[in-house]
Amino acid sequence: MTVQAGVLRTIAGIVNSVETLEGEGFLVRRPFPKSSFSAFDPFLLLDELGPIDLKPGQAKGAPDHPHRGFETVSYILDGRLQHKDSEGHAGLLNPGDVQWMTAGAGVVHSEMPEAEFTRTGGRLHGLQLWVNLPQRDKMIAPRYQEIPAAQIPVAQTPDGSVTVRVIAGEALGAKAVIETRTSIIYLHYTLQPGAAIAQPVPQEYNAFAYVLDGSGLFGTEQEPGTDGQMVIFAQDGDEVAIANPAHAEQPLDLLLIAGVPLNEPVVRYGPFVMNTEAEISQAIEDYRNGRMGRIHV
What pLDDT shows up at residue 23? Answer: 67
Contact, 100 vs 132, CB < 8 A?
no
Q: Check pLDDT > 70 for residue 127.
A: yes
Q: Check pLDDT > 90 for residue 280.
A: yes
3-state helix, strand, coil in the chain (%, to 5): 10, 50, 40
Mean pLDDT for the stretch of residues 250-257: 98
State pLDDT tens for residues 155-176: 999 999 999 999 999 999 999 9
**Dihedrals phi, psi of 282, to nearest 5 degrees:** -65, -40
Contact, 275 vs 267, CB < 8 A?
yes
**What percentage of the chain reaches a pLDDT higher than 70?**
97
Mean pLDDT for the stretch of residues 85-111: 95
What pLDDT shows up at residue 6? Answer: 83
Question: pLDDT band for position 2 (50/70/90)?
Answer: very low
SS3 per residue for 160-213:
CCEEEEEEECEECCEECCCCCCCCEEEEEEEECCCCEEEEECCCCCEEEEEEEE
pTM of the model: 0.95
The H-or-E segment that residue 115 falls in is: helix 115-120
Strand partners, 65: 109
What pLDDT shows up at residue 4? Answer: 45
